Each structure stands twice: as structure tokens, then as C-alpha cells.
Structure 1
Amino acid sequence: MTVTSMPQPALPAQQAEQPAEDVILGVDTHKDVHAAAVITVLGVLLAHQGFPTTAAGYRQLLAWARSFGILHRAGVECTGSYGTALARFLHRENTTHRLTTVMDNGAPKAVPDDGSGHDGTGRPASAARGRCPGVR
């Protein structure tokens, strides 16, 4: 006996995807590589990654951050030194994409190599939390 396939009823229209979550970018700036983190508005770390301090690296960083949700705010450390070019890039993006960049003009902060294996990922997340009002 041969089993034939039965016609399938039409599936209801797929529900629209949930709206993207608002996320915040934090960047701990360095001479050659900026350490970036993306957190939720509730302060949950979603991801962290390093990006080269080049124009292409800034574009990659921004595209990467936006891949996690709607990016409206960014916290950038050391905008008076290593973060200057990134801050300018993000400021330009602000005019076209409504990105609010909250910056810190602090001096470069050395991360001690104490042999603890600390990878510094808390610094960019801290930049996002500490520089953006209402996020801890």
C-alpha cells in the first residue's frame, strides 16, 4: 500500500519578530585595540570583543554593537587620548543614527599585569554602566 501525502493546511501568518532590545555600548580605549562590550539596559553583559583602532575597526565595532539590538547610548573612556578618534566617529554617527555618546575625558588607565589572568572585560562593561545614567 502506498501512502500519499495529505495536503497541509495553510499556516497562519508568522508573527512579526519581537522588537529589538535597546543595548548600550561601552569602550575601554587603548593605543592599538579598543575593548568593547555590549550590555542590556538592565546592565547584563551580552558580549565583549576587541577592535583595531582604525577607521575600519570603528565601523566593525559599531556594526557589531548594533547586531545585538538598538544602540542609542555609548560610554567611551579616555576620549582625551586613545579614545579621541572613536569619540569623533561616534559623534558623526550620532547625527545620522540618534546615538548618544557619553564620554569620559579621563587619562589613560593602566591595567596592571598581576598574573591573575584578568582579561579586562569588566572595563568596557563598566564604561557602559558608569557613563550612562540609569544603568548599573
Structure 2
Amino acid sequence: MCSELQIARYRSKISGPLLDRIDMHIEVSRPLSSDGLTSGMTTDQMKTMVLHAADRRLKRQDGRANHADLEGASLRKAIVMTKEAESMLQLAFDSLGISLRAHDRILKLARTIADLDGHERVDSPHIAEAIGYRSLDRKLQAL
């Protein structure tokens, strides 16, 4: 977890508009030892999952555009959400004071997470995970 001093240092080095252009802000701690690592997904399993997600995206978007390339109406068309997901995103937008650019980044990231999960619609867990990856938006708003 970042201390308030560390967050203040980030804030002084990274402007809000620049921070908005970074899709994910996550803190990754260093493992204590290689013995403590658990075996998760293998590289081949992860590769297969990513390829299936890319295939779903290509079929949905008729072989055009990555999520990163979508904007405006094409972004809204590509991202079909449940009502719960829409409500959660609106609540985050209102309560966290995120910018419109950060809002769209969350949408794109949630769409990618849903693709990795094999879902056609973005649901509230996908939005929640995407918001979680934007931790500096929340932490920096408080300063």
C-alpha cells in the first residue's frame, strides 16, 4: 500500500491529464522468496485465454479496432453492459470524481476483462476490477 507521502510524490511528478492516459495503476509487491510462489496459470494457459479473448473481440467488432482505438459512439457500441455495471460505473464516476478520459479507460479495461472471462456483456465484477486497477485516481483525489 502506498503511504500518503509516496502518493504526494507521485502527484508532484505525474499530472492529472498524464495519469488519465495510463490504463492501469497497480502496486505489485516483490515476492519474499521463490519458494513462496504458488503455481497459477501456465504461460500456455494464459496464451490460450488471451487468444480466445482477442478472437471474441475481433468477431464482435468485425475484425476492426482494438479496444484502445475505440472512442465515442464506437466505444459505447462495442461495450454492452448490464444495468448493474452501468450503475456501478456511474456511481464511481460521480463519487470518485474521475475524468471522462479515465471513465473511458475503465470501460475499455472492463471490456477486456470481460473478454478474458469469456463474457459477451460487461458486468459489475468487470467494472469493479477495472476501477480497482485505477488506484491512483482514488488515492490522488484525496490529496
TM-score, normalized by length of structure 1?
Answer: 0.25
Higher normalized helix content (fraction of residues):
2
TM-score, normalized by length of structure 2?
Answer: 0.24
